[in-house]
Chains A and B, each alone.
Chain A
Amino acid sequence: MANITRSPWLLHYDGSSCNGCDIEVLACLTPVYDAERLGVMNTGDPMQADIFLITGGINEQNRPTVKQLYDQMPSPKVVVAVGVCACTGGIFKECYNILGGADTTIPVDIYVPGCAARPEAIIDGIVKAVALFQKRSDDYKAKVKEKKKAGK
C-alpha cells in the first residue's frame, strides 16, 4: 500500500440489489470499519471516481445508466462487483427482468462474494482494486513516456 500516490475515490451505484450490499458499502465508510482511513472516499461524481463499486444485477432499464456511469469515469479505472447479485445475478438470476451480473454490461475486474457481502470482504475487494488501479496507472504513465520519447 505504501506506493500509492493518491487516495482512491469510489463511485457507488445500486444496480438492482436488495439494499443489503448497499448499506454494507456505506457501513464500510462509517466509524467501525472506516475505509476512509485508507484514504478511500465515496463520491457521487463519476468524473472524479477511480473505482466503480456496483451492487446488484443488470436489468434493461438500468443498463444504459450503468454504461454511462462507466464511460464517464476517466481511465484508468477499476470495477468491483459487490455481492453475489452483481457477480452472477444471484437469487434473482431466473427473474424475467434480470440479464445477469454486472459483467454483462461492463468489464468487471474484481468480484466480491456474499449475500449480503460483509464489510470486511468489501474492504478486501477495495484494497485489491487499489493495487490493480496502481498497476494500470503505472502502465499508463509508462505508455505516455514511451510516446513522448518516440515523438522526440
Chain B
Amino acid sequence: MGNRSVIPFGPQHPVLPEPIHIDLVVEDEKVVEAVPSIGFIHRGLESLAGKRDFNQLVYVAERTCGICSFQHGMGYCEAVEHIFGVEVPKRAKYLRTIWAELARMHSHLLWLGLLADGFGYENLFYQCWRIRERILDLHELTAGGRLIFSVNKVGGVLKDIPEDKLKEILRTLDEVDDELRVIRSVFFEDRSVISRLKGVGVLTKEQVNELGAVGPFARASGVRVDMRTLGYAAYPELSFAPIVSNDGDSYARCFIRMMELFQSIKLIREAIGKIPAEKELEVPIKGNPDGEYFMRVEQPRGEAFYYVKGSGKPFLERMRIRTPTFANIPALCEMLKNADLADVGLLVLTIDPCISCTER
C-alpha cells in the first residue's frame, strides 16, 4: 500500500492539442481513480439557435468540431429535412455519403498518427499524416476547403462532384489503399506497437454496455453499434456491415479504426459506382420548420445525435447536440482505474477524444 497522491493531467498537456483536465489519484505508479473536469472550451454553441435562422445554423453546426465537421452539418440538415418531410435527391444522398466517408478516413488517419505519436513512434506518426494530406487534397478538390467545407444545406448539397473529379477520387484512393497496406502491416505486426497496445486498457462488453460507450471504442469491445445501419444518406443501398472485435483492448481499438479505413475506401468506390446521374441536387424548402426530430448519425468517433425543435418561426426553439466523446468519458474513467501512470496518455487517446465536440 503506497502513498496516495493526486497528479493533475492537463488542461495543457503534450498528448493532444485540446484541453482536457483529469485529476489522477495515484498509488505509487498505479492510477486508482480518475476525476475528469471539462468546460475549458465551452462556447455555448447551442445558444446560437436563437440568433441565427435554421439555414444559417448549418454553418454553426459544422463548426461544432473541425475534424468531423461534415457529419455535424449532415446530421443537422437531415434532422431539419425530416421535420419538413422532404426527400433529398438521390445524387445528393450519394454525394453526402462520399464526403462523409472521406471525412471519416481523414479523421481515422489523424487518430492513428496521434496514437503512434502517443507511444513514441514518430516515423509512423508522420507517415499517417502524410497519407492524410492526400485525403485533404480530395476535400479541397471536391469542396474547396480542407477541413470545414460547408457543402451541406437544408434540402440537399450545394456542389456537385463532376465525373472527372469522381475518377480522380478513385485514382487517389487506389494509391492511398496501397500506402495504407504498408502502414497496416506496421500497426498489426510491429513488436513495439504490439507490446504497447496488447492487453492495455481492457474493457469488457458488459462494462461498455453499462457505461454507454459508442463508436469504434464500443465496437472494439464486441458491441455491435453503428448508426450507419440505421440507413441515413445512401447507406441502405451500399453493402455495409459494422466491423466488430471482441478483445476490448487498445490494440483492438487500433484494429477497428484501421479496418474502417479500408471499409471507407470500399464504400466510396461502391458509392461512386452506383451514383445516379441526376441534375437535381436539392429540393426547394418552403416555410419554416414546425415540429421536432431526433437524428442519429455515425461520426468517426461514434454516435452523435441531433435534437432539433422548431415552432414555425425562422429561428429554432432548440438545437441539442450529444457528441460521441461525451458518451465515452465515463468508460474512459473506468478504463483509467488500475492503469499504469505511463499508459494514461495513450489510454486517453484510445477513445479518440474530441473535446471541442464534447463541450461545444
Contacts and interface: CB of A to CB of B under 8 A. Distances in A.
A7 interface: no
Contacts, number: 121
A117 to B, nearest CB: 10
Contacts of A91: 48, 59-60, 63
Contacts of B146: 24, 116, 118
Contacts of A23: 17, 66-67, 110, 147
A62 B354 CA distance: 17
B255 interface: no
Interface string B1-18: 000000000011110011
Most chain A Cβ neighbours within 10 Å, of B113, B125, B147: B147
Given A20-B66, A97-B42, A14 B19 contact: yes
A13 B44 contact: no
Interface string A5-27: 00000001111111111111111
Contact of B18 (A19, A24, A92, A94): A19
Contacts of A115: 63, 148
Interface residues of B, number: 40
B65 interface: yes
B65 A19 contact: yes
Interface stretch (A53-61, A105-113, A141-149): A53-61
A20 B147 contact: yes
A1 interface: no
SS class, residues of chain B in contact with chain A? loop
A46 to B, nearest CB: 8
B106 to A, nearest CB: 9
Nearest to B68: A19
A44 interface: yes
A39 interface: no
A118 B144 CA distance: 12
Contacts of B110: 23
Contacts of B17: 12, 14, 19, 22-23, 25-26
Interface of A: 12-27, 30-32, 44, 46, 56-57, 59, 61-62, 65, 69, 91-92, 94-98, 115-116, 118
